[in-house]
Amino acid sequence: VITGASSGIGEAAARLLKAQGAHVVIVGRSPEKTEKVASELNVPYYLADFTKLDEVRTLASQLQTDFPRIDVLANNAGGVMGDRTLTVDGNEMTIQVNHLAPFLLTNLLLDTLIASEASVIATSSLANRGAGTLDLNDLTIEHGYTAQRAYGKAKLMNILFTKELHRRFHAA
């Protein structure tokens, strides 16, 4: 399962994995772009807008119903948003799309992922180096917001979450 697979790195990964014989499931936000890629690859697809956590919950439920086994979850959806914007869930949009939504999706699928002995991949970048520290009292970044700081903090959160998943569930 690859999120953010309707374009960019996610689409390229889906194409490569499909060419190598993997059973690929793609997730995207744009109905047109996601359907186009899915049709070209002849793979199942799901739509979810990560700015809405209810859509992530629905996605997780659909995936659990349709796929009792998931070998890999590639949390690739994301992006750098411009101005500081809060989602309908009250979170800063860059933080939600890049971290909170994938965090929620992974946790909702955790039983399936554990039973499948799956790998969870979080795409990241060097942007986390400029994030500084996480202020748990200001996760909506009301103070000192820039798009790059928000993106860097989200990527730092991805790294911390991935390390914790590894610590808890990777066979030593």
Q: Give strand ranges (E) for 6-113.
A: 26-28, 45-47, 72-75
Q: Which of 45, 46, 145, 151 is catalytic?
A: 151
Distance of alpha carbon 113 from the chain centroid: 15
Q: Is 151 a catalytic residue?
A: yes
| Residue 67, burial from CB neighbour count under 10 angstroms (0-12, 13-18, 19+) | middle
| Residue 139, burial from CB neighbour count under 10 angstroms (0-12, 13-18, 19+) | middle
Which two three-digit tokens encode residue 94? 């860059």
Could you list the active site residues? Answer: 151
